[in-house]
């Protein structure tokens, strides 16, 4: 092994997209976020990734997954998203 080789922090998992098994490499935090979305949306990982694949505009499935997660959590971070999630309206903190 090369002295300059770095250890990848990406985690490789297999998913089935429209009946075809494929391998996806994502950061652990991305896998965790996917699991959270699956639970919240009552979908299996395969169902969610298939939905992302069907609607993707990005060049790769992993890029599409990352963009999906970013937009999903951005929507939840709005005042309306917080209300729908039962968190209430986010108000800026008063400066001391």
- pTM of the complete model: 0.76
What confidence tens digit (pLDDT) does each residue in 12-29 have?
A: 999 999 999 999 999 999
The rounded distance, in Å, linking the Cα atoms of 18 and 10 is: 24
Percent of the chain with pLDDT over 70: 78
Residue 78's pLDDT is 82
Return all residues near 73 (Cβ < 8 A) that are at least 6 apart: 33
Residue bearing the bigger pLDDT, 40 or 92 = 40
pLDDT of 32 above 90: yes
Q: What sign does the dihedral 8-10-13-18 (CA atoms) show?
A: negative
pLDDT of 89 above 60: no
Query: What are the structure tokens assigned to 34, written together?
Result: 């996917």
Secondary structure class of 41 (helix, strand, coil):
helix
Query: What are the structure tokens assigned to 15, written together?
Result: 């998913």
Residue 2's pLDDT is 52
Residue 95's pLDDT is 62
């Amino acid at each position: 092994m090369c002295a300059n080789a770095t250890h990848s922090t990406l985690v490789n998992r297999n998913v089935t997209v429209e009946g075809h098994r494929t391998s996806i490499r994502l950061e652990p935090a991305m896998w965790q976020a996917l699991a959270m979305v699956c639970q919240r949306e009552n979908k299996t990982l395969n169902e969610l990734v298939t939905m992302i694949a069907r609607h993707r505009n990005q060049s790769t499935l992993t890029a599409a997954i990352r963009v999906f997660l970013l937009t999903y959590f951005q929507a939840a971070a709005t005042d309306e998203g917080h209300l729908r999630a039962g968190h209430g309206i986010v108000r800026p903190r008063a400066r001391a």
